[in-house]
Chains A and B, each alone.
Chain A
Amino acid sequence: MADHSHHVEIDKVTGTATTGHEWDGIKELNTPLPRWWIWTFYATIIWSIGYFIVYPAWPMVNGYTRGLFGYSSRAELDVDLAKLDQVRGEKMQALATASLEEIEKNPALLALARAKGKVVFGDNCAPCHGSGAAGGKGYPNLNDDDWLWGGTLEQIEKTIKFGARSGHDDGHMGNMLAFGKDGVLTKEQIVEVANYVRSLSGLSTRPGVDLAAGKQVFADNCVACHGDDAKGNQELGAPNLTDRIWLYGSDEATIIDTVTNGRAGVMPAWIGRLDPTTIKAMAVYVHSLGGGK
């Protein structure tokens, strides 16, 4: 058993005093830590008390101690965010005052507009046009060079602002009529005109279909919007039928469907939902995707 009397027991092997504690025949030696270690511990304890007092630390029933300086990490974050806003504010000011062309000519502003535009595009436009603006059936690909309503910076900005068939007074108007449903053209005429427009962009046509008849149907019904040369009309959003880009698809069945039932896709107006600077940034971003005129 350990010796609990007052005299200090010295361990024979090491010559060190023991603490008197013994367990399973093993005695604990009294080997204190170096002094400097102990003082370091004391210093940290004293430090922690000061810390408790100076900073918010102690939980209470309804709240916590606020500390001497009233420090709060949330307030610090607010300050940082305010600073960020200020920094951005100056750049955004430049973005707001520069014209679309000026933005695109200025590498720093272009980078800023593209960065901002990409984020806003992702939030607002990607559901229809896709995150990379590649579009889909009925949703134009904004990377290519074919534009229903025009691909200049101003035209793109206008389309974003007011939309197409959006109900906004300044929005683009113009529908593809439902020639079949409304009984204007017969099924046969529709097949003929469908094959005719396919031939315009160099696509194969169904054998036995009278392309001359289709051309006549086109001349009688379609030129008003798509033009004599079928190159379309951006005032009306009428697509160019001679190129390789087809919004709804270029196969015969799809074209027959288009002519029979008409098309009227809607692009919403963003003015009022997004501020003008944001719309500007988005126009520059879309223009710089590659298709812009």
Chain B
Amino acid sequence: MNKPLRATDLQPDDDGPLYTAQKKIYPQSVTGPFRRIKWILMAVCLGIYYFLPFVRWNRGLGAPDQAVLIDLANNRFYFFAIELWPQEIYYFTGLLIVAAIVLFLMNSLGGRVWCGYLCPQTVWTDLFYAVERFVEGDRRERMRKAGEGFKLQRAAELALKHSIWLMIAWWTGGAWVLYFADAPTLIKELVTFDAPMVAYIWIGILTFTTYTLAGFMREQVCVYMCPWPRIQAALTDEWALNVTYKYDRGEKRSSLKKAAQLRALGEPVGDCVDCNQCVAVCPTGIDIRNGPQLDCIQCGLCIDACDNVMKKIGRPTRLIGYDNDINIHRRMEGKPEIFKPIRARTVIYTVIIVAIGGAMLYKLANRTLLDVNVLHDRNPVAVRLSDGSVRNGYTVRFLNKRGFDRVVAIDVEGPPNAVIHVVGSDSITPDRPMIILGRDTTTELRVLVDSNSADDTPQSVPVTFHVTDIGLGEVASTKDVFVTP
């Protein structure tokens, strides 16, 4: 091999039409480590999705006991020991940012791995293919049957396949709504047709989308509809490991027999025997030997397929493997391969993930279950009373995030001789008003603060409101100002 090969050299001048009508793809079954990883991940992901709503979590009397619950009616989100309020929506923002960066990190390490192993579209399509294979047989059989005319047995097969698909799709939609209400109760209501209309509508929508996207659209979603391939193509750098056909080893392709002859003559010959197994198993129907392609979801199934072939013909495995062009060229130049998982971008991504994740965990660990916010009256900002003292009005909002009622005392600190009144509450302790906060609610009260400041000059002094739980001793504070007219 005199002239170094490039990926583009592999493509013949006439590359065929730019666009061809969509070909139906009949991926062949395959065994191997990547297939096994995919089965395991599928079981884990689907297991979590389908059964998580049934996991219980004791939060005490009166609170929902579902481990993961999005309670839209009451604006609460429960995730095991964590209960989030609408004010804490920033946790979700943080989570989304972390998720995006994790995706970036995965991409800079292993290209489109998300697509190949974890994306719901892939997981469900894989499941639907498994059903199809189970009912109709493997690639050859399916292709043969597709060409045949109508037969009773064929009709029965199709009916069976579509009913299994629809059942999976329906269960998928059903599991979705269970995250938004108490699962056992909702199931009972669904069965007796007492469930809210919106539940049926969502089940219908998700049944339909699962059935069409996983049963019919399949790889077209990944190729035409999903924005991620385009984004990830821009994010990938030359060091990222992608499913790669190692053309330095594979070319020239020839049949097994011819290869043996050429080898005997000392002619250069590659390991690829042109058996097309890698193409047959590919769920997006591409030929990885044409070089890196946007359509490749990096599922690694072609690696398994080719490895099986290589084992059979007694050549080293991983003619196709996670690799990059840099290493192909290094090998061709006789240099050792290098892998660089630690690069500027992977370090930066990791730092961002750790920073945001850490900040969120810190905030979560130091989350207060008693909170107070205050809003100063704007009109009038201050009132002079008949005895010359000054009164300021505030709207105070108390948040009790605990699952029980509690009694809190309100103290104010700052203005001289401050006296505090709560409108609409007769406290038994007049100079230290006490109020009851309902469990898991916010309470808004109008609070008046009087101060007999001797000074008549207009001024504003800082004022701090302390809210003290009489039973638990928990204290929440907030600051504002006290204004003298």
Contact = CB atoms under 8 A, between A and B. Distances in A.
Contact of B380 (A15, A34, A134, A245): A134
Given A111-B444, A244-B388, A31 B379 contact: no
A133 B443 CA distance: 24
A119 B84 CA distance: 33
* Interface of B: prevailing SS: loop
A244 B22 contact: no
Contacts of B16: 14-15
Contacts of B14: 15
Interface in A223-267: 240, 243-245
A141 interface: yes
Interface in A120-152: 130-134, 141, 143-146
B378 interface: yes
A290 B383 contact: yes
B264 interface: no
Given A29-B18, A34-B21, A143-B380, 16 more contacts: A14-B17, A16-B17, A31-B17, A31-B18, A32-B21, A35-B21, A36-B216, A105-B424, A105-B426, A134-B379, A144-B386, A145-B385, A146-B386, A243-B386, A245-B385, A288-B446
B50 to A, nearest CB: 28
A213 interface: no
Contacts, number: 82
Given A34-B21, A110-B424, A291 B383 contact: yes
A183 B344 CA distance: 95
Interface in B11-48: 14, 16-19, 21-22
Contacts of A134: 379-380, 383
Interface string B195-228: 0000000000000000000001100100010000
A289 interface: yes
Contact-residue bracket for chain B: 20 to 34
Contacts of B216: 36
A289 B387 contact: no
Nearest to A111: B444
A206 B263 CA distance: 125
A148 B444 CA distance: 31
A141 B377 CA distance: 15
Interface residues of A, number: 33
B387 A243 contact: yes
B379 A16 contact: no
B419 to A, nearest CB: 12
A104 interface: yes
26 contacts: A15-B17, A16-B19, A29-B18, A29-B19, A31-B19, A34-B22, A36-B217, A105-B424, A132-B379, A132-B380, A134-B379, A134-B380, A141-B380, A143-B383, A143-B393, A144-B383, A144-B391, A146-B385, A243-B386, A244-B386, A245-B385, A245-B386, A288-B423, A288-B424, A290-B391, A290-B423
B343 interface: no
B466 to A, nearest CB: 21
B22 A104 contact: no
Interface in B350-406: 377-380, 383-388, 391, 393
A27 to B, nearest CB: 13
A104 B385 contact: no
A243 to B, nearest CB: 4
Interface in A18-48: 29, 31-32, 34-36
B52 interface: no
Nearest to A10: B17
Contact of A244 (B18, B387, B426): B387
Contacts of A288: 423-424, 446
Q: Kindly name the residue among B380, B384, B387 whose own CB sees the greatest number of chain A CB atoms within 10 A.
A: B380
A144 B379 contact: no
Contacts of A32: 21
Contacts of B385: 144-146, 244-245
B448 interface: yes
A117 B318 CA distance: 79
Nearest to A245: B386
Contact of B424 (A31, A107, A130, A143): A107
Contact of B378 (A15, A36, A132, A144): A132
Contacts of B21: 32, 34-35
A130 B217 CA distance: 65
A104 B424 contact: yes
Contacts of B378: 132
A70 to B, nearest CB: 22
Contacts of B17: 14-16, 31
A132 B380 CA distance: 6
Contacts of A111: 444
Contact of A141 (B217, B224, B383): B383
A291 B389 CA distance: 13
Contacts of B18: 14, 16, 29, 31
Contacts of B380: 130, 132-134, 141, 143
Contacts of A31: 17-19
A14 B446 CA distance: 76
B448 A290 contact: yes
A141 B393 CA distance: 14
A131 B393 contact: no
Interface string A261-292: 00000000000000000000000000011110
Nearest to A144: B383
Nearest to B212: A36
B435 to A, nearest CB: 9
Nearest to B383: A143
Nearest to A132: B379
A145 B391 CA distance: 10
B383 to A, nearest CB: 4
Interface in A76-103: none
A105 B380 CA distance: 25
B102 to A, nearest CB: 33
Contacts of B383: 134, 141, 143-144, 290-291
A132 B383 CA distance: 11
